[in-house]
Homo-oligomer: A and B are copies of this chain.
Amino acid sequence: MNTLKNGAAHAAGAASTPVIGGTRYKEVKNGILAALSAKEWKGGEAIPSEKRLSERFGVSIGTLRKAIDELVADNILVRHQGLGTFVAQHQRDRYFFRFFRVVRQDGEKSYPTVSLVSFTKAKATREVAAILGIEPNTRVFSFVNRLALHGETVMIDSITVAEERFAGLTEAALRERPSTLYNFYQDAFHINVVGTEERLRVATANEIESDLLEVAPGTPLLEVRRIAYSYHQEPVELRISHVNTARYEYVGPSASHEEPL
C-alpha cells in the first residue's frame, strides 16, 4: 500500500486562501468556502473537477471528497454525476420550498404570486444595523411584498437589505426579476443565501396589513422574523412576514438532519 505518515510531506496545498482547520479535509472545506466568498465561482457555475481540486489542495481524492461531502450536506454545492460539481443556485423548483414554508392547511404546496407593494431607501436603525452587521445610519433598501396563494393574499413580507451589499438595486429591477428573490440576489449581486434563522410569534394586523390581507385591523397573524445568511454566517437580509393562517399554515422543522443543540 505504501501509505506514508500523513503529515509528513504536507505540501501545504496551493489553496488560494490558506485557511487552517484542525484536519486536512476541514482545511480544504475552508479553502473552497474562501474561494466561494471571493466569488471565484458564482451561483450555478461548475467548480473544478475533483481531480483538479485534489491537486490544487494537495490531498487525495478521498479527502477532497469528504470536504465536498460536507459542503453538499450544507446545500452550498450540488453534485451532478457525469457533469461536475456546481455552486448551488436558487431556482423555483430547487430550494424554493426550503425557504418558503407556508402551505394550505390540507398540505397543498403552491408557488406564491408576488407583487411589490412599496420600495424605499432609508437609514438603518441601530437595531437593524446590528442584525445586518453594518454601521448604524448606513443606507438600506426596504421593500414590501404581497404574496398570494390560489388567488388569495395570505402573507406580507417586509424586507430590508444593506445598500453596500446590494449596490444599484432599483424598484424596476426588483419588479422585472425573472425568478425567485434569492435567485435574483445571486445573479445580480453574487450574494448566496445558504441559511436562515427564524423566530415566530403571534402578532396583530396593523392598518397596512389588514388592508392588504383583507382582514379586520387587529386580526391575529403569524409573525415570522427571518435573518438570511450567506457564507460564514454573514447576515444579508432581514425579513418580517405576517401570515394569515385562516386557511394556510407554516411548516416547521422536521428535527432530523438538524444542527446539534
Contacts and interface: CB of A to CB of B under 8 A. Distances in A.
A221 B250 CA distance: 14
Contacts of A255: 98-99, 195-196, 198
A194 B254 CA distance: 10
Contacts of A260: 98
Given A201-B105, A202-B220, A249-B201, A196 B261 contact: no
Interface string A238-261: 000000010011111111111111
A99 B261 CA distance: 10
Contacts of A198: 251-255
Nearest to A76: B256
A257 B74 contact: yes
Given A195-B256, A252-B252, A255-B99, A202 B200 contact: no
A200 B200 contact: yes
Interface in A177-216: 194-202, 204
A221 B224 CA distance: 14
Copies of this protein in the complex: 2
Contacts of A199: 105, 249-252
Contacts of A252: 101, 197-200, 224, 226, 250, 252-253
Contacts of A221: 202
Quick one: which of A105, A226, A248, A258 has the most chain B CB within 10 A?
A258
Q: What class of interface size applies to chain A in its complex with B? A: 35 or more
Given A1-B1, A74-B256, A261-B97, A222 B202 contact: yes
A107 to B, nearest CB: 8
Contacts of A74: 256-257
A245 B261 CA distance: 22
Nearest to A2: B1
Given A252-B253, A254-B259, A256-B74, A222 B200 contact: yes
A75 interface: yes
Contact of A98 (B194, B251, B258): B258
A259 B73 CA distance: 9
A164 B201 CA distance: 36
Contacts of A99: 255
A215 B256 CA distance: 34
A159 to B, nearest CB: 16
10 contacts: A105-B201, A196-B254, A198-B252, A200-B245, A201-B248, A202-B221, A202-B222, A250-B252, A253-B254, A257-B257
